[in-house]
Structure 1
Amino acid sequence: MKASVPFRSSGVPFLSRTAFLQSRTELTVPQKVFFSRAKHDGSFSLRLVPPTLLAAEKEEAKAVLTLFLKKQGLSNAVAARTINKSDLFVDHLVSRLHSVHKSRYLVGRELTTLEIRDALIPYLETLLDEYGPILVDVVENFPDPPVKEKSEENVQKQPLAENSVASVSPSTPSVDSRKLKALARVSDVSPTGKLPSHIVYLIELGMELEAIREVIRKFPAFAYYSLEGKIKPVVEFLLDLGVPKTDIPTILTKRPQLCGISLTENLIPTMAFLEELGVDKKQWAKVIYRFPPLLTYSRQKLKATVDFLYEMGLSADNVSKVLTRCPNIISYSVEDKLRPTTDYFRSLGVDVALLLHRSPQTFGLSIEGNLKPVTEFFLERGYSLGDVATMISRYGALYTFSLPENLMPKWEFFLTMVYPKSELIKFPQYFGYSLEDRIKPRYETMRKCGVQFPHRRRKLPIAWRNMSTAAQSFNGNLKVEDVVVLSSFQLVNKVNKLYSMMLFGRVLFNDLYAVNLILANQNMMIISQKALAGLRRINLEGLRWRVFDAKGQVLGRLASQISTVVQGKDKPTYTPNRDEGDMCIVINAKDVHWPPQGKEFERSDGQGPHRSYSQSCAAYAPRNKLRDDRDRKLRIFADSEHPFGDRPLEPYVMPARQVREMRPRARRAMIRAEKKAEQQEQGTTNTRKGKKREESEAELSA
């Protein structure tokens, strides 16, 4: 007996065991009809669906069903086996999808991944509430009603857990056949001998054909995405955000699902929501490259993580920096990952807010697999919990290093340097340096130079990192013992090799002149490195190198001229919205003439001339987005030495000071004042007061 059920009957979903009909007008269900209390409103669209779109929708429905089954506790193997036996149920999900979004199909619009997910997940949750633990039998036996007793026995024998199906292979013939069909779409050549258009487009972007196949093996639905409808709009959107074309293949490889998300309804609103939460909109290119799945998370997930960051005590500015530098923190579960890790660090006495700000990636590590072994490593070597807390507070990335490949080898080498363990508490960054490329070569260089480390002042050779601070303290309480243990990890380049040999000879030097030479050389090297640091961000093509000699110049007038050149106001092509200024090098900055109100600032600021000049020049420049670029073009040096001797330098001649002619009234007042001063010098006889004084004196004498 066969029951013929038309599609337009409402309230109950039906589907046949037979092949899925493309006309979708009627389905025949043999023998038994599956009844479910889950609501199924609407009717099927009579519009013919293209076979490629139908295949893509089936893959999307399978992906949603697989994800739903995994959330219920099934392993990958069990979920894959269930999907293989559920072709009729997958067709049923597609039919429901068409009935829910009938209006979309009438206008020929494809559904996005999120729209498909939003339509099917509630329906699957309804079935779960109705059938509970026998949902897998319902899916596999669709449309036949499951046998209650048999299903319960199967549930008892084979619960929905990962451990019970460890022996089942995740690869099955049905799964392989679907992957082969998807891969065939990549390799199929048209009658003209060309690959499909979307494959050609991806290859032009820089993706290798094998990389495309690997993406499709992991996510078969990607093979059915249309070029004009899904792939190309997302790629062009990423390029408009500033993502380099060379980074597009990496992003698509990491998260091909991005192409299945609607731009106007999902991607752009999600980005706006993240900007409200604190993501820097100028850094979207870097954020997406670092973690492409960020844009696929729901708003509830995003808000939950941000609320947790605020709960830990981070300010709005720090939350913005964390989301920009480490966007993958969104993928960490708040209750299963972030909060337990927070409790663990608090038990060590670590400031969690500070650690989250400095090293958020640490909170993605496993407590049992990463954090506890590193803590036990230091405790076994004599450090206390307080020492470990100090080390992790000073260097948050300490727990991210591999224990057998990083920490242990560097610890063994540290023991050969006969330094006290307390030096690692002061400078845990030691574990961040390369053992073979930096630590060993530099230490060996200092050992060959005969460096002596007094036992009473034993210091780790990387403890003194700021040589300018050492140079400032040279004229104060600096002792020879302190200089002998200067940073061996900085004094091994060719430039200061002569000075290092002079200072670190076989005999302990008492000549402070040699000390002064090496400190001055190191200080100059640091200044040169800072001066050359930002040049790669500047387009130097066509720029002039103007040199300003600050000796004897008034700070305000000099800053005004520098600001004019940096902004490009001295050029006839000057426009306010373009950065056309030249490079400005200021020498002899220490000999500038300070105004009376600036001398106190010069003595109390203590940050050198660069900040004073920068602040003075900034007063003459507009506060717009070009300000940072203009600041990079200003290089200031206290003396006449600078590292730009190989550039075509042009000395800047300060214009003559223009004295404005005095107004007539002011001139007359000045003349009267001069005459009065002359009269006072000659005496008081020519004034009225002087004559009266003489008459009164004569009367008194008479």
Structure 2
Amino acid sequence: MLFSSSGYETLIGRNAKRMMAHLSIPADEALQSTLSFFEKMEARHGGLSMLAHGDVSFPYLIESFPMLLRCSEENHLKPLIDFLKHIGIPKPRIPSVLLAFPPIMLSDVEKDIKRRIHAWEKAGIEQEYIGRMLLKYPWILSASVIENYKQALLFFNRRKISSAFLGTAVKSWPHILGCSTTRMNSILVLFDDLGISKKMVVPVLTSSPQLLLRKANEFLQVVSFFEDMGFDKKAVGKIVCRSPEIFASDVENTLKKKIDFLIDFGISERHLPRIIKKYPELLLLDINRTLLPRMNYFLGKGLSKKDVCSMISRFSPLLGYSIEHVLKPKLDFLLQTMKKPLKAVVEYPRYFSYSLEGRIKPRFWIIKSRNIDCSLTDMLAKNNELFAEEYLGIET
């Protein structure tokens, strides 16, 4: 039951490590016993990555929870398995839950587990989400974790920050439930230092609740990364509000790699602050799956690296557009129907930001019907009133 091959062995160990890493609240007896079990596993070769391998972990499991040997499979374990399946845990994933929090196997389904599930329902978490949360974070059945959620709600209410987002946040990132209000407060203090208003805290944390799990020094490393590029605190705060997920990223393995890639491609370092300010989300884009294919697409169309670098420097959101659904159809229309030279998009890369059906085509047909030759900028940059006044003779 616990150690049958399910294909999730690596995931089980990885999640156990993550749960330990993000726990910053006092542990109750059940949680303390689990941590002791994990520490014994960590001390041996292979560590928690061997958690799902029975030949390695079973002796430590029994040493930490000897009462498991007295559990009846028919009268105790089978009802537990049936209940876990009932609340949405797929059978192959049940070992993920039991090994991450073995005290569940010693708990009475009716008296203990259902009562704690009900506590989450009472807190406003729908049962369909409780099963998903339990799969990601089995410690939601810990009394300490349930109590910490209540304290977190009070904490945000005292700070006059709507705590409603917390219910949404823990559904996607239940590891937050093991995060102390002291650690949460350290992140809010940093937000305040960057000029992020209380009003903006809610959308930021709703979008990226994992920021609450960051240690202050980890968050500050990302702040320093931007400051080293020339951004002041106010500008960094704006980036947090626009793309908070960046601040949950690793500086060395993610952010600096993107910058190095852009520089190696040929982007001037002095243009980087403008590029990032315009489109900070590019720091989250995968180099091989997103950035490089878009660059290669333009190179394949006959543009030089210098041209592509110029386009990125002028309009960096270009790097996030779909080749198939945005870049290709718009470039095809430009070259085949509008008969514009390829260099036109180098001069005005923002062309790709306009709707093909809603703006580019209608305006082109108007320009063409009047036999007017104009640049992409003149054709697209004007608002509807100015365009109508200049090209249709309609005064507004």
The Cα of 1:432 is off from its aligned counterpart by 3.5
Question: How do 1:281-430 and structure 2 match up within 5 A?
Answer: 281-347=198-264, 348-350=266-268, 351-418=271-338, 419-430=340-351
What SS does structure 2 have at the residue aligned with 1:86? helix
Q: Residue in 2 aligned with 1:150?
A: none
User: CA offsets per residue over residues 452-483 of structure 1, 9 Å max, x none?
Assistant: 36475354785232467779xx8xxxxxxxx4
Q: Residue in 2 aligned with 1:56?
A: 31
Q: Residues of 1 paired with 2:215 and 2:167: CA distance?
A: 24
- Partner AA of 1:420 in structure 2: P
Q: Residues of 2 paired with 1:60 and 1:183: CA distance?
A: 14
Q: Residue in 1 aligned with 2:52?
A: 81
Unpaired segments ≥5 residues, structure 2: 1-26, 66-91
Q: 1:219 to 1:460 in 2, by over 3 A?
A: same
Q: 1:443 to 1:317 in 2, by over 3 A?
A: closer
What SS does structure 2 have at the residue aligned with 1:286? helix
User: CA offsets per residue over residues 207-253 of structure 1, 9 Å max, x none?
Assistant: 331211011111111222457621222134345543373x4433112
Q: Residue in 1 aligned with 2:174?
A: 256
The Cα of 1:280 is off from its aligned counterpart by 4.1
Does the 8 A contact of 1:216 with 1:222 survive in 2? yes
Q: Does 1:463 align with 2:357?
A: no
- Partner AA of 1:373 in structure 2: P
Q: Residue in 1 aligned with 2:192?
A: 275
Picking from 142, 158, 162, the partner of 1:243 is 162
- Partner AA of 1:56 in structure 2: L
Higher Rg of the two aligned structures? 1
Q: 1:393 to 1:461 in 2, by over 3 A?
A: same
Does the 8 A contact of 1:304 with 1:334 survive in 2? yes
The Cα of 1:309 is off from its aligned counterpart by 0.9
Relative to the length of structure 1, the TM-score reads: 0.42
Q: Percent identity?
A: 20
Q: 1:244 to 1:277 in 2, by over 3 A?
A: closer
Does the 8 A contact of 1:251 with 1:292 survive in 2? yes
- Partner AA of 2:179 in structure 1: I
User: CA offsets per residue over residues 612-637 of structure 1, 9 Å max, x none?
Assistant: xxxxxxxxxxxxxxxxxxxxxxxxxx
Q: Residue in 1 aligned with 2:139?
A: 221
Does the 8 A contact of 2:117 with 2:130 survive in 1? no
Q: Residue in 1 aligned with 2:17?
A: none
Does the 8 A contact of 1:197 with 1:227 survive in 2? no
Question: How do 1:103-122 and structure 2 match up within 5 A?
Answer: none
Q: Residues of 1 paired with 2:316 and 2:190: CA distance?
A: 29
Does the 8 A contact of 1:61 with 1:90 survive in 2? no
Q: Residue in 2 aligned with 1:439?
A: 356
Question: How do 1:525-540 and structure 2 match up within 5 A?
Answer: none
- Partner AA of 1:211 in structure 2: Y
Q: Residues of 2 paired with 1:440 and 1:187: CA distance?
A: 62
Does the 8 A contact of 1:278 with 1:319 survive in 2? no
Q: 1:456 to 1:345 in 2, by over 3 A?
A: same
Q: 1:219 to 1:373 in 2, by over 3 A?
A: same
Does the 8 A contact of 1:183 with 1:216 survive in 2? no
Does the 8 A contact of 1:280 with 1:324 survive in 2? no
Q: Residues of 2 paired with 1:196 and 1:323: CA distance?
A: 35
- Partner AA of 1:272 in structure 2: V
Does the 8 A contact of 1:362 with 1:400 survive in 2? yes
User: CA offsets per residue over residues 565-591 of structure 1, 9 Å max, x none?
Assistant: xxxxxxxxxxxxxxxxxxxxxxxxxxx
Q: Residues of 1 paired with 2:237 and 2:348: CA distance?
A: 28
Q: 1:328 to 1:440 in 2, by over 3 A?
A: same
Greater relative CO, 1 or 2 (CA 8 Å, sep 6+): 2
Structure with greater helix share of residues: 2
Question: How do 1:674-693 and structure 2 match up within 5 A?
Answer: none
Does the 8 A contact of 2:34 with 2:101 survive in 1? no
User: CA offsets per residue over residues 266-304 of structure 1, 9 Å max, x none?
Assistant: 221332134335544442112111111112112221121
What SS does structure 1 have at the residue aligned with 2:52? helix
Provide the alpha-carbon RMSD of the alignment.
4.1
Q: Residues of 2 paired with 1:53 and 1:353: CA distance?
A: 48
Does the 8 A contact of 1:187 with 1:195 survive in 2? no
Does the 8 A contact of 1:390 with 1:425 survive in 2? yes
Q: Residue in 2 aligned with 1:41?
A: none
Q: Residues of 2 paired with 1:54 and 1:308: CA distance?
A: 41
Does the 8 A contact of 2:195 with 2:237 survive in 1? yes
Q: Residues of 2 paired with 1:64 and 1:292: CA distance?
A: 28
Q: 1:366 to 1:447 in 2, by over 3 A?
A: closer
Q: Residue in 2 aligned with 1:545?
A: none
Does the 8 A contact of 1:60 with 1:221 survive in 2? no
Does the 8 A contact of 2:307 with 2:346 survive in 1? yes
The Cα of 1:187 is off from its aligned counterpart by 11
The Cα of 1:377 is off from its aligned counterpart by 0.6
Q: 1:90 to 1:194 in 2, by over 3 A?
A: closer
Relative to the length of structure 2, the TM-score reads: 0.69
